[in-house]
Structure 1
Amino acid sequence: MSLDLAHFTPFASLAGGLMIGAAAALLVLGNGRVAGISGIVGTLLQGARAELGGRAWRLAFIAGLAAAPWLWRLVCGAGSSALSPTIDASPATLVVAGLLVGLGTRYASGCTSGHGVCGIARGSLRSLAATGAFMAAGFVTVFAVRHLVGG
């Protein structure tokens, strides 16, 4: 096993992790809500069932997530390699993967941000189990795709 030093970004990764943690903490402290993306988006999609005052902060949160890459481009410049990820998958594969992730969040009653970032920080055993299951499924999937399917 070797370390890919060209793509090793400990400082950027640490900064990103700190920003995710700060955003989750600010949302809990300022709004009393957990930063679970699937719950935030799911409530928005429920339309009339979502309380009117709750829609504004949810829309602002999702807008912030969507705007982050463009803000990063402004700060770091258009030539940053972090802004040019390559995804070696067909659109159909991405749609199926997205649907499977959505199905998994329904079964787990939350997503990696809700369970992995917020739930574990609150000491939730259910979140610890869910995050362990997310990670194990990811490890098995990567192993299968790279070594068994012929990726």
Structure 2
Amino acid sequence: MWRNGNRIHFQTFVLGTEKPVVTGAYIDLLEVKMGVPRANPCSGKTDLQSDAIFAAISEQVKQNQDQAKKVNAVFLYNITIDGKQLSEWTLDLKNGEVHKGKPKSGKADATLTVEDKDMVEIALGKLNPQLAFMRGKLKITGNIMLTQKLKSLMETSKAKL
């Protein structure tokens, strides 16, 4: 791998034979500032690391409206720290939009509740969502099968982080 500005170029080879598998590949980096959650004593609100994740997802949805609308579902994320809900995000993939708060109309097809740090780990690919669900780190109510459709959206957003 090598970096050229905001672009990281990479190649992969088969171990032992050194045959190229992927060549000419690159990832463009966006500026994403992720800090440690900390309380703002003036507002009583907490800055969440997962806010950057949802910003990246929002950009992906804007750039890929057709792909997002194929999911055709509304997801509500409840983001917690130490079990206390601090934020809500809606992925309205019926209308191709992502926003902070509850769904603007109707109700969510699936509601996902996850700790802020675990959401970041899932988005970065460090925590498998199915494993997080089985370990109780990710709770899902509603149509759980729809969450499988989020995989492609999360993978393209991960590349943008």
Give the TM interval when normalised to the shorter protein.
Answer: under 0.3
TM-score, normalised via structure 2 length: 0.26
Structure richer in helix, relative to its length = 1
TM-score, normalised on structure 1?
0.27
Structure with the larger strand share = 2
Q: Which has the higher contact order (CA 8 A, sep 6+)?
A: 1
